Structure 1
Amino acid sequence: MSNPNAVLWTCSLVGWLGLCFKLRDLKQAPHNPLRRAVCIMLALASMSMFSAAPASIAFINKITGTPNLAALFVYAIIVAFSASARVTLAYWLHPLDRARSAARRWTATYTIFIMALIALFAAGEAPIERRVDFDTYYSSTPFIREFILLYLIALAIADIALMGLCWKWAALAGRPWLRRGLKINAVGASCGLSFSLAKLVAVIARWYGTDWDGLSTHVAPLFAAPATVCMAIGLVLPSRGQHLTHMRTRVSRRGAYRELYPLWSALRQATPAIVPTGRIPRGDFELRLVRRLAEINDGRLALRSSVDPQVKDLALRLGREAGLSGSELRAVVEAARIKAAVDDKAQHIKFPPDTTTDDPQGGADGIGELAWLVEVSRAFANSPVVREVLIQLRKAREEGSLTPTRKE
């Protein structure tokens, strides 16, 4: 990392933001032990990221006056995070009574681990401050060696359990955002495991006289950063992802409203009666969208007597020649019929009612109708096939090969 402080602090910030979202969930159910465990896990992960930055390590060492005491502080937080991960898994896996019992056992076990960390650090000697390469520099120092191994193994075990469970449940989850959150959590746990393994390999290599310190100082941090980010996103996504879906839907519907304008505007000018006199409040977007759809459909109905039945065949032929098919072809045909009808109504040209029945387009639901009319509006405004239909229609009428059935 070119600037490890900025990277680690940014990842820590992401974790704190995730915690803010989860605290809102906890506020709704303050006695829910699973939500409490998740909040604690996020807080510890964020704290470990912030404290592991070289600048933070230097600050902790300076204010305590003890070289490398920051290592004990950071590693104790990492082991506490591992405990919170196991407690969270217990509440995910088991009924409440059994989960509470398992949570107490894991808390007691990892408390012993933290006490062991303190004892090992106190028994060992690490007089030279090492902000970045503490693990490899002291990898062979009595007691400090065990101190390093203990935190790495505790973290690796927790990440293995978390990764396995998240992958397993992601395959079974029914809700899309829960499934995505579990997968992202699994990726985060695999990054955490990779961090531990890279550190362990570098430490063990030192025991055999091999210098693989780069695994600890350069490779491992590359896994630590995304581990926290993935965990924060993965834990927040199941509860907040639905808001993203609603937001995307709102943005999509507003875009559709704008795309309907060319078709709606032409129909409004051709048949002004379709537009009611009452105004809609600007803040009520859904009502404005519903009215625009209704006015378009009313305009299409009002133009029935101006629809030349010969336009459909001409548009179908030209559309197929242009390589169109499916809904795209049907939208072009409908757009051509409407555009020709608008022109013919302006010239007071009428035709006998079209007795053929077309299959309804867009389905019976409002979403399908909206998508269909947006496609028609796009073709109405931009399709070269529609323009060519009108050109050939006028040319054929001028030559007499196509004539209006009746003119007012």
Structure 2
Amino acid sequence: MTVLDVLPIVVIWAAALWHAPKLAGPLWQRWMPVGLLALALCLTIRLDPVSDWISERTGMPNLAVLLKHSLAVVVTGAWLEWALLLRATDEPAHRLLRVTSVLRWTTLAGLLVTYLRVPDSANAEFFAGQGHDPAAARHELVFTLYLAVTGLLAARVFWHKSRLARDPAVVWGTRLLATAFVLTPGYGLGRLVALTAYATGHTAPGAFNTTRLSWPFGAVSVLLIVAGVSIPGFVTLSRTWIARRRLRRLRTLWTLVVPAIPDTVLPTPPDARTDPLGLGTTHLRLVRRVVEIRDGMLALRRYADPDLCERLRADLEGRGLTDPDLELATVAAWTILTADALHNGRTPQRVVAPPPRPPKANLDAEAQRLVDIASALRRPRTGACVEAIREATADTVGRPPAREDAPPAA
């Protein structure tokens, strides 16, 4: 086996295991895992012993070939319908679903007719020169014609998805998949050219090797499919790794802000076993943490002094900080002191203090900004500024000074 034989098997098995939990989901979500598992089994298990065993048991030498191609027709039709169902809200998708259903059953009927009605001696000399069994080659020609049509339909679906997608990785991945399925008709074109050339008398048996004619199309198609599937996968893995790093770095800021304002904690996401869309992912955890921290910081404004930001900024400027480090350190120190005021029992103020900086609308930018604030919490200058402000606002016994409108002590 060559690399081109092993690599698709590995990729298909990985995708099948990745989608295996969806087998417990609705019916339309089961098509893709079932198709992937069936194809992975067909590619992994050697079919020659299976074909010989079926032939010996049934006494029908070509029954295994018929079953193999019928299974392939069902599997490819399931993939195409699964892809179409992802955008089944528009009328063109429903029309394509009806077309693929009719095409699948017509192809299965054609395979059965060629198996029952066409004699085994037809084109035996040609197929023997090509190194194929006559009945097996007839079934393969019918299947490759079906594969060509479904490939063009799948190419149309993936190209439409690339135009609707916003993620560049998904756009290029679906475009590569569309290009790969456009090349699938060339897989059967080589066999049709060889058959037509011999039938018209332009060449002798065996002069055309159908494998050599179809191999370039199949090899390029396999490489494009692997690339189209791998690009979004690698991008997803890299984004997951970045999200995990941000989650770890935001833990300090989260433990400072969210426990002080428990109402900002979002509901726990559903369990993965009852969540076929994968909502309990690292990306969703990052979104929840960013939203909780941002809402907590907005809620802390009611417990901050109106002039706290100016005092912190002036102190940090005196310590030699400049923008953008000055702004991040100001927000970090403001968060620490405001959370301290809440823990010390300070009541909400009528005049809400202005926030250090309004939140960003972009999730990635807001997450990175909060990560930078969390990093500023651990800087020595930020800690020194916080201690200086605490000493300036505390009395001789270390308690916050009494409010001016408070009644005199007895």
Q: TM-score, normalised by structure 2?
A: 0.53
2:109 is aligned to: 112
1:21 is aligned to: 22
Measured against aligned partners, the alpha-carbon deviations of 1:109-133 in whole angstroms (never above 9, x if no partner) come to 2233222442488625899xxxxxx
Instruction: Select the residue among 155, 158, 164 that pairs with 1:166.
Output: 158
SS at match of 1:123: coil
Q: 1:335 to 1:60 in 2, by over 3 A?
A: same
- Structure 2 counterpart of 1:171, one-letter code: R
Instruction: Select the residue among 315, 320, 323 that pairs with 1:311.
Output: 315
1:75 is displaced (CA, Å) by 2.2
1:64 is aligned to: 55
SS at match of 1:363: coil
Q: Answer yes or no: is the 8 Å Cα contact 2:331–2:356 preserved in 1.
A: no
**Is the aligned partner of 1:157 residue 2:149?**
yes
1:297 is displaced (CA, Å) by 6.2
Within 5 A, what are the aligned runs for 1:19-58?
A: 21=22, 24-26=25-27, 35=28, 39-40=30-31, 43-44=34-35, 46-53=37-44, 55-58=46-49
Q: 1:7 to 1:59 in 2, by over 3 A?
A: farther
CA distance in 1, matches of 2:177, 2:333: 53
SS at match of 2:53: helix
**Is the aligned partner of 1:76 residue 2:70?**
yes
Q: Answer yes or no: is the 8 Å Cα contact 2:107–2:143 preserved in 1.
A: no
CA distance in 1, matches of 2:82, 2:33: 11
1:161 is displaced (CA, Å) by 1.2
Q: Point out the more displaced range, 203-212 or 42-51.
A: 203-212
2:218 is aligned to: 220
Within 5 A, what are the aligned runs for 1:159-238?
A: 159-172=151-164, 187-188=176-177, 190-195=179-184, 197-198=186-187, 200-201=189-190, 204=193, 209=207, 213=211, 220=218, 223=221, 227=225
Measured against aligned partners, the alpha-carbon deviations of 1:89-140 in whole angstroms (never above 9, x if no partner) come to 887464899778656633442233222442488625899xxxxxx999446x
Q: 1:69 to 1:233 in 2, by over 3 A?
A: farther
Unaligned 5+ runs, structure 2: 198-202, 270-284, 339-352, 397-410
Q: 1:360 to 1:192 in 2, by over 3 A?
A: same
Measured against aligned partners, the alpha-carbon deviations of 1:207-259 in whole angstroms (never above 9, x if no partner) come to 6635584675798368459859978999xx9xxx9xx9xx9999688435423
- Structure 1 counterpart of 2:69, one-letter code: Y
CA distance in 1, matches of 2:117, 2:326: 75
Q: Answer yes or no: is the 8 Å Cα contact 1:275–1:295 preserved in 2.
A: no
Instruction: Select the residue among 320, 325, 331 that pairs with 2:328.
Output: 331
CA distance in 1, matches of 2:110, 2:157: 23
Q: Percent identity?
A: 12
Q: 1:305 to 1:160 in 2, by over 3 A?
A: closer
2:252 is aligned to: 259
CA distance in 1, matches of 2:105, 2:313: 82
CA distance in 1, matches of 2:227, 2:30: 15
Q: Answer yes or no: is the 8 Å Cα contact 1:126–1:144 preserved in 2.
A: no
How many pairs were matched up? 333
CA distance in 2, matches of 1:297, 1:382: 23
CA distance in 1, matches of 2:6, 2:362: 52
Q: Answer yes or no: is the 8 Å Cα contact 2:121–2:134 preserved in 1.
A: yes
RMSD over aligned Cα atoms: 6.3
CA distance in 1, matches of 2:189, 2:52: 24
**Is the aligned partner of 1:361 residue 2:350?**
no
1:73 is displaced (CA, Å) by 2.8
Q: Answer yes or no: is the 8 Å Cα contact 1:205–1:212 preserved in 2.
A: yes
1:304 is displaced (CA, Å) by 4.0
CA distance in 2, matches of 1:46, 1:228: 17
- Structure 2 counterpart of 1:113, one-letter code: G
Measured against aligned partners, the alpha-carbon deviations of 1:3-62 in whole angstroms (never above 9, x if no partner) come to 957953762573476365165123xxxxxxxx3xx7456534542442244623433333
Q: 1:294 to 1:17 in 2, by over 3 A?
A: closer
- Structure 2 counterpart of 1:330, one-letter code: E
Q: Answer yes or no: is the 8 Å Cα contact 1:185–1:230 preserved in 2.
A: yes
Q: Which has the higher contact order (CA 8 A, sep 6+)?
A: 1
CA distance in 2, matches of 1:380, 1:24: 45
- Structure 2 counterpart of 1:255, one-letter code: R
CA distance in 2, matches of 1:16, 1:88: 17
Q: 1:307 to 1:361 in 2, by over 3 A?
A: same
- Structure 2 counterpart of 1:75, one-letter code: H
Q: 1:213 to 1:81 in 2, by over 3 A?
A: same
Q: Answer yes or no: is the 8 Å Cα contact 2:145–2:185 preserved in 1.
A: yes
